[in-house]
Structure 1
Amino acid sequence: MLPFQVNDSIQLKLIQYQDRDELYSLIDENRVILREWLLWVDKRQSPEDLDTVIEMWTRNYEERNGFDAGIWLNQELVGMLGLHYIDWKNKATSIGYFLSESSQGKGIITTSIQKLSTYLFNELKLNRIMIQCAENNLKSRAIPEKIGFINEGTSRQAQWLYDHYENIVTYSLLSRDWQEEVST
């Protein structure tokens, strides 16, 4: 499935070893804004720190267990979109994402998730997609809300983030909801 052409300017591609330094630079240049919401940022202090995760991402993709893809905008790496573990029995998965500060507000993630959702529901025949966001991360929460994901509720103090707990909001989209949304 990867690479996945979202539109003329956006492409999702599996992160591979040759992308390591570019990915590290993206993380490092956006460290302050990413660290506000993502626990793994401090674990990435050099390009070499990405070697084991890139190996895991490759293995997951080969085993049809999701993917971690770079988001390229006009051939420039601007973020990542992850399709987490796929529960094939229940036909469910979840999506995570981040974007460089300079690329935010342009509809890149929204457009990517919309196109990917159509693929997941129509081609992979999944039934449920979830997105979880920190309650106070309003930019991240705006994405599933704009696409039509349903807010299922808030898990109180569900994630320890460096020095405090964050409430986590869970959104979901069902195949039948997507079919109704696309046909209207």
Structure 2
Amino acid sequence: MKIGGLNAVDTGKIEPILLTIPEQFESKRLLIRAPLWGDGAAVNEAVQESIEQLRPWMPWASSVPTQEASEISIRRSRLQFLERSDLRLLLIRKETGKLVGSSGLHRIDWPTRKFEIGYWVRSSCAGQGYITEAVEAITKYAIRELQANRIEIRCDSRNHPSARVALASGFSLEGVHRGDKLDVDDCLRSTMIYSKVRGVEF
């Protein structure tokens, strides 16, 4: 049973776990795939390399994880992918096999086919366009394979690199939720909301 063959009414009636969803696809430079058991070591290496750059924006990066913790996270993500409750995706450079970063489709609302793209890049791969390339490919994947009606990118209003990725990928700024969350230092932060909506941006 493939979601691409369902209409909006049908999508709300079936169990997401029954959906057949491709586990990998490619962009020009990247293999973008679901997590697999054993990926924890590569993820841990990338996080350790990038912890200072990740810490201001990612609550889970408050401390350096152990390799075991990274593997546990990967295995949970694998199960969530199979359940269709969260679709984490790893970004791997095809030429070298190196893990570039992580992305995925989160906060999924299957009845309305709404998804949120999140992402981070390891420090040694930053500024090379990998995340913009990945976001564009994941957006096409969500539209083609998941019949997305709405795709969001949310980021801290101070996270200018993340905002630039959203704009470069053709997302529109809908607005700013002012003082809506606490940041990693327990200070109020604002959230910028970018989106693509069927019938408007695609």
TM-score by length of 1: 0.89
Alpha-carbon offset, residue 92 of structure 1: 0.3
Gaps of 5+ in 2: 1-21
Residue from 152, 157, 162 that aligns with 1:135: 157
Structure 1 counterpart of 2:192: 169
* Corresponding residue number in structure 2 for 1:52: 72
CA displacement, residues 70-100 of structure 1 (integer Å, 9 cap, x when unaligned): 1111310010012113211111010100001
Report the equivalent of 1:11.
31
Q: CA deviation at 1:17?
A: 2.7
Name 2:3's counterpart in structure 1.
none
Q: Alpha carbons of 1:14 and 1:44: their partners in 2 closer, same or farther (altered >3 Å)?
A: farther
Q: Is the 8 A contact 2:57 2:184 kept in 1?
A: no
Letter in 2 for 1:4: F
2:5 aligns with: none
Query: Which residue pairs with 1:102 in the alignment?
Result: 124
- CA separation of 1:66/1:119 partners in 2, compared to 1, >3 Å: closer, same or farther? same
Give unmatched runs, 5+ long, in structure 1.
Answer: 180-184
- Percent of matched pairs sharing the same residue: 26
**RMSD after superposition:** 1.6
Q: Which moved more, 1:132-141 or 1:54-63?
A: 54-63
Residue 121 of structure 1 deviates from its aligned partner by: 1.3
Q: How does 1:19-38 map to 2 (within 5 A)?
A: 19-38=39-58
| 1:92 alignment partner in structure 2 | 114
Runs in 1 of length 4+ with deviation above 3 angstroms?
A: none
Aligned to 1:111: 133
Aligned to 2:168: 146
Per-residue Cα deviation, 1:40-65 (whole angstroms, up to 9, x for no partner) = 11255201112432232112211223
Partner of residue 155, structure 1: 177
Instruction: Report what 2:19 is aligned to.
Output: none
The number of aligned residues is 178
Alpha-carbon deviation of 1:122?
2.3
Whether the 8 Å CA contact 2:58–2:184 is kept in 1: the answer is: no
In the alignment, structure 1 residue 123 sits paired with structure 2 residue 145: yes
Q: 2:176, 2:192 within 8 Å by CA — same for their partners in 1?
A: yes
Query: 1 or 2 for the larger relative contact order (CA 8 Å, sep ≥6)?
Result: 2
